[in-house]
């Protein structure tokens, strides 16, 4: 019985530490410390922007690991943050022919396309995602290829 209780206690302790949330400082350095890329969106006064389409907010985007939607949610939560929603990442993006002025040119991807999950559902099985900061699409949540998390 003592052995069983010891194993049970150890299991609870290990499980609790495995699901611990690490709140990083919401700074460029904090984001980079978890292998993320710090992104500052365009401000309303930037060229090609206005208050309806650009908000100047900061985001932390995963860099090294492509993940499905559920993993992206968990990655952000593990940092004490939330997966970004479409309206925060791309204000009025759907109303603007599916474009994202807020993030255009803000993510360094070495000249390649990049894709970021949002928490905004498209359907029961799909969520909206942002492609290279210029367009908005949707993807099945279990898709993993090249899609990253972006936290707010």
Spans of all domains in the chain = 23-151
Provide the mean pLDDT of the chain.
Answer: 85
Dist. CA 19–CA 31, nearest whole Å:
19
Average pLDDT over residues 83-102: 92
- The pLDDT confidence band at residue 13, using thresholds 50, 70 and 90, is very low
Burial class of residue 109, CB neighbours in 10 A (0-12, 13-18, 19+): middle
With a CB cutoff of 8 Å and minimum separation 6, the contacts of 133 are 100, 103, 104, 105, 106, 107, 114
CATH of the domain spanning 23-151:
3.10.100
CB atoms within 10 A of CB 14: 9
pTM of this structure: 0.81
Closest CA to 61 of 28, 22, 92: 28
With a CB cutoff of 8 Å and minimum separation 6, the contacts of 144 are 66, 67, 68, 71
Dist. CA 71–CA 79, nearest whole Å:
13
Supply the pLDDT for residue 48. 87
* Residue 6 pLDDT > 50: no
17-67 tens-digit pLDDT: 445 567 889 999 999 999 999 999 999 999 989 999 999 999 999 988 889
100-121 tens-digit pLDDT: 999 988 876 666 678 899 999 9
Task: Please identify which residue in the block is written with the tokens 């909206």.
Answer: 128
Burial class of residue 66, CB neighbours in 10 A (0-12, 13-18, 19+): middle
| Structure-model confidence comparison of residues 11 and 41, the more confident one | 41
């Amino acid at each position: 019985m003592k052995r069983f209780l010891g194993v049970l206690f150890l299991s609870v302790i290990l499980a609790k530490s495995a699901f611990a949330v690490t709140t990083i400082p919401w700074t460029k350095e904090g984001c980079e410390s978890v292998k993320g890329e710090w992104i500052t969106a365009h401000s309303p006064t930037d060229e090609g922007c206005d208050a309806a389409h650009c908000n100047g907010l900061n985001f932390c985007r995963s860099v090294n690991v492509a993940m499905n939607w559920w993993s992206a949610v968990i990655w952000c939560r593990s940092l004490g943050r939330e997966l970004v929603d479409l309206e925060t990442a791309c204000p009025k993006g759907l109303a603007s022919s599916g474009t994202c002025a807020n993030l255009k040119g803000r993510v360094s991807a070495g000249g390649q396309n990049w894709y970021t999950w949002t928490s905004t559902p498209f359907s029961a099985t799909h969520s909206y995602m942002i492609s290279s900061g210029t367009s908005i699409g949707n993807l099945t949540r279990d898709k993993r290829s090249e899609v990253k998390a972006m936290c707010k």
